[in-house]
Chains A and B, each alone.
Chain A
């Protein structure tokens, strides 16, 4: 059992039973019919609280993760990258600098920033694994205070490998699965279906764009630096402000920052309506990070060819979680983010002047 599962097992087992002592109560009766919520005063007080209210319905049928950990090295096995002092492999650096030359920003203007991704995940259904996916479109208003709309659809699930397919047949080829939680118990009767689901639209009070443990307005995003060093310094400043206790060694802080910059590069390239020059600065910033690996002949979960830039997130026990940013170095396009049994496949981003669908 790897360290991740061990930690999550300990937490699951320590779940206090007081959590389940909800008093029996009748359905509350509220006198008025459903109506739009007025803006609560707290929204003006803190923009972060607003962001906390975003609850998309992505993959509403998605169940409990049991990390399959295929991308994780067990303790004792050395991760592919070993020292943060090592220079980046020339190829990773070269591919990233090439991508920086080609990459562009999404053209156009509008009232909404619309991003579309596909989420893939491998689920433990007891005895074998199935891979499920869902599609999520996020409509983010550029104007502050507007609602964010999430349009999601479950795309279906199937046994993950040939061995899983055999186990699935042996189990009677079920078309749906009950999911188990990290504690091995079935989680609230949650189900996963082989068939695709219907489109689901949900709307939540708006928020700013999340990055670096904080959130930025559209105007702040337009002011992001297009210089890689300044961009890096800015992200470190945001991250430092998000808080860290005082017991970290300089080495731990250095490694943390590399992980933070690596992961926020995905945010910059996929989630945010950044101005010209920022995607190129992001690739150039990445090119300067230590400890990157490269797989020049990678494919994302949709089979698109590209290069995978890898970084091993280090666990306390020396095991690692390999994370990959898959890009097309020829066009500078973003393809996917992969970690453990999860993959987020980037499909598109655009501006829209027409409002999102309402149902």
Chain B
């Protein structure tokens, strides 16, 4: 038999955090497998409810991270954030789309490890010490890795800007000048 208290705690944690786990899953391995990752993560959470800390988000993302490594590594390695984000881009103004597309393309150009570190802090609302818990290293080590990842991102951004910006649609003013 399962204790009602355990059920309640699990339900509360699920209700509060399943969307954040989903967001992490999409950012790591894409929409196609995000639901599976959420299910597998909460299965582990249920089995290890006794080990779950009071503030469980970093812990949950750490579990989700393991699920990605163990079962969806190919999806994670092949993920292109730019293509994941494409459908929503159409409604935006061209310049904002272009800037965001360049950023996503630069993230795509990085290794999965760098991309993960940058998006953990940039997209999932984690502090560096929480993000360090997710990836299983000390805060000091995480900061060093984040610093390196950001440098590679900046380099990739420069390269992607050169590659993407010229293909941006010409503004009406530029049309007239021609």
Nearest A-chain residue to B88, judged by Cβ: A17
Q: Interface size (B, Cβ < 8 Å)?
A: 86
How many A-B residue contacts, CB cutoff 8 Å?
Answer: 221
Of residues 6 to 49 in A, which have CB atoms within 8 Å of B's CB atoms? Answer: 7-8, 10-23, 25, 27-28, 30, 32-37, 40, 42, 46, 49
A271 engages B138 (CB within 8 Å): yes
B104 engages A344 (CB within 8 Å): no
A60 engages B43 (CB within 8 Å): no
**Interfacial chain A residues near B22, Cβ < 8 Å:** 19, 22
Can you show 9 pairs from A to B with CB atoms below 8 A apart? A22-B18, A22-B38, A51-B136, A60-B58, A181-B125, A271-B138, A315-B151, A315-B154, A342-B128
**Interfacial chain A residues near B52, Cβ < 8 Å:** 202
Q: Is the interface of B mostly helix, strand, loop or mixed?
A: helix
Q: Which 9 A-B pairs have CB atoms at the shortest separation, nearest pair first?
A: A55-B62, A60-B55, A57-B53, A54-B136, A16-B85, A22-B22, A11-B122, A187-B125, A14-B103
A119 CA to B164 CA, complexed, in Å: 41
A121 at the interface (CB under 8 A from B): yes
User: In whole Å, how far is B74's beta carbon from the nearest beta carbon of chain A?
Assistant: 14
Which positions in B face A, CB cutoff 8 Å? Answer: 1-3, 6, 10-11, 14-15, 18-20, 22-23, 26-27, 31, 34-35, 38-39, 42-44, 46-55, 57-59, 61-63, 65-66, 69-70, 81, 84-85, 87-88, 99-100, 103-104, 107, 111, 118-119, 121-123, 125-130, 132-141, 143-144, 147-148, 150-151, 153-155, 157-158
Nearest B-chain residue to A45, judged by Cβ: B70
**Interfacial chain B residues near A283, Cβ < 8 Å:** none
Nearest B-chain residue to A6, judged by Cβ: B154
A25 engages B138 (CB within 8 Å): no
With A64-B125, A259-B144 as contacts: A34 and B48 at CB distance below 8 Å: yes
**Interfacial chain A residues near B127, Cβ < 8 Å:** 59, 62-65, 121
A30 CA to B62 CA, complexed, in Å: 21
A49 engages B139 (CB within 8 Å): no
**Interfacial chain B residues near A310, Cβ < 8 Å:** none
With A3-B154, A14-B104, A22-B18 as contacts: A53 and B136 at CB distance below 8 Å: yes
A267 CA to B103 CA, complexed, in Å: 32
Partner of B123, one of A15, A266, A313: A15
User: In whole Å, how far is A254's beta carbon from the nearest beta carbon of chain B?
Assistant: 15
User: In whole Å, how far is B21's beta carbon from the nearest beta carbon of chain A?
Assistant: 8
A174 at the interface (CB under 8 A from B): no
**Interfacial chain A residues near B118, Cβ < 8 Å:** 8, 11
